[in-house]
Structure 1
């Protein structure tokens, strides 16, 4: 079930969030971020934040926010995380589909992912199946802990 995230549900998800940012393989977040800083980034600052709940356990989450201000505020941006032990269950797909529905309801006309690490092949395949295109490559944009500098992609989808 998808429902809005709050402080309590984020704190429940925090160990998985922390583990993902410590790995430094998919998110350009500071590995030293605190739970409070992460909550502010993921839940308080964005327009919306939702989680995938099973038996009151948060298995995945996403945020939705405007990608820019003013004349570009019709394009939104989202970030998604799924607990590593819950991967492969279709949760990221369901969260992305839900985020597109909510984005349309909020009046957004497009969705853009600003920095999808090129080595995150699983996510790239999923986003492509959901209609996103790679519209740009940022050379050596990400310092991968095992592979060194790798490219990041800008991915985009019109929601109309």
Structure 2
């Protein structure tokens, strides 16, 4: 890890700490299929309403570096497979935050009783994310052609990625 920080669970009352990162990600439009006009309350509901749990990476000085949400990939008979979404502040790229969030989420998923983790919508051109997930044992188990409208590259593929826990 290149930077001293901690990761902790937060509730809806602290979601505003992560909102600047959401705005960055939405403005770039390169990695999430969220609506460009997603507002704070909508994002808070998506990331903190049960069954989802949210975690925040904070620098020792209190700066928010990144976040992730963890919950079931599906309800009912598929709820033994976890799903997670991650965001890292652009100012923290390359400092080990994404790696730490991924490792933390895998540990939390195991503790919660999940047997596997699946990502349903990894944009194929998000090279840093694809590399990170592969490094942590995920495999591309599906590819959907031209499923994402990238703001500069046009239609690009998305991956479904999976690993057992």
**TM bucket by the smaller chain?**
over 0.9
Q: How many residues align?
A: 159
| Structure 2 residue ranges without an equivalent (≥5) | 1-5
Aligned alpha-carbon RMSD (Å) = 1.1
Residue 87 of structure 1: aligned partner: 93
* 1:23 has 2:40 as partner: no
* 1:135 has 2:141 as partner: yes
2:77 to 39, 52, 71: 71
* 1:156 has 2:162 as partner: yes
Shift of 1:5: 2.0
My pick for the range that moved more, 44-53 or 58-67, is 44-53
Within 5 Å, which residues of 2 pair with 1:4-153? 4-54=9-59, 55-153=61-159
Contact 1:46 1:63 in 2 (8 A): no
CA distance in 2, matches of 1:46, 1:128: 26
SS at match of 2:33: coil
In the superposition, the TM-score normalised over structure 2's length comes to 0.92
In the superposition, the TM-score normalised over structure 1's length comes to 0.95
Shift of 1:9: 3.5
Contact 2:24 2:89 in 1 (8 A): no
Shift of 1:82: 0.3
Contact 1:137 1:152 in 2 (8 A): yes
My pick for the range that moved more, 5-14 or 150-159, is 5-14
Shift of 1:18: 1.0
My pick for the range that moved more, 91-100 or 2-11, is 2-11
SS at match of 1:131: coil
